[in-house]
C-alpha cells in the first residue's frame, strides 16, 4: 500500500512538471509568433532565410579562399549590395513574396551543383531586383 501511494505521488508530480513545461513552451511559441508579426511575418522571416541561403551559395568560397561559385565577371560587393537591397525590402515588407520565391527556386533548381556564368548571374541578380515592390530610404 505504501508503494502504491508513493508511485501515485510520483506520477502526479511528473504530470504537473510536464504540464508546466508544455505551457512554458506554448507561451514562448506564441510570444515569438507575435514578435514575427503573425502568419505574414513568418512568411517574410522564411523568405529572408531562403535569401541568405542563396547568397551564401552564390558567394561560397573554397578551402583555399578562391571563389568557387561566384562568376568572375561580377564583384562580390555588387552581389552583396543587390542582396542587401532585397533584404531591406523584406524587412520593410516591401517585396513580392511570390516573385521572390519564384526567382530563388529557379536559381536553386538551375545552379544547385553548377556555377552560373557571368550572364546568368547578372540575369539572376536583375530578376532578384524585380521582386522589390518599394524601398524605404533611410
Same domain (yes/no): 28, 44: no
pTM score, whole prediction: 0.68
Domain count, the chain: 2
14 has pLDDT over 70: yes
User: What digits encode the pLDDT tens for the residues 76-93?
Assistant: 888 899 999 999 999 888
Same domain (yes/no): 43, 32: no
Same domain (yes/no): 30, 55: no
Give the model's pLDDT for residue 100: 94
Average pLDDT, the chain: 83
101 has pLDDT over 80: yes
Q: What is the DSSP string of 86-109?
A: HHHHHHTT-B-HHHHHHHHHHHHH
Find the mean pLDDT for residues 11-27.
94
Q: Is the pLDDT higher at 99 or at 116? A: 99
Same domain (yes/no): 26, 45: no
Same domain (yes/no): 48, 70: yes
Same domain (yes/no): 72, 107: yes
CB 59 within 8 A of CB 79: yes
For residue 14, give its domain range: 1-36
Band the pLDDT of 137: cuts 50, 70, 90: low
From the CB of residue 132, how many other CB atoms can be counted at a distance below 10 Å?
Answer: 19
Amino acid at each position: 500500500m505504501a508503494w502504491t501511494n508513493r508511485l501515485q505521488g510520483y506520477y502526479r508530480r511528473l504530470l504537473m512538471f510536464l504540464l508546466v513545461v508544455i505551457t512554458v513552451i506554448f507561451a514562448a511559441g506564441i510570444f515569438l509568433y507575435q514578435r514575427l508579426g503573425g502568419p505574414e511575418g513568418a512568411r517574410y522571416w522564411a523568405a529572408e532565410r531562403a535569401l541568405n541561403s542563396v547568397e551564401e551559395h552564390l558567394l561560397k568560397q573554397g578551402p583555399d579562399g578562391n571563389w568557387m561559385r561566384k562568376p568572375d565577371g561580377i564583384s562580390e560587393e555588387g552581389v552583396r549590395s543587390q542582396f542587401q537591397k532585397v533584404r531591406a525590402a523584406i524587412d520593410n515588407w516591401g517585396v513580392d513574396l511570390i516573385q521572390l520565391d519564384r526567382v530563388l527556386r529557379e536559381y536553386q533548381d538551375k545552379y544547385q551543383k553548377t556555377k552560373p556564368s557571368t550572364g546568368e548571374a547578372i540575369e539572376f541578380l536583375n530578376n532578384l531586383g524585380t521582386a522589390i515592390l518599394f524601398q524605404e530610404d533611410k
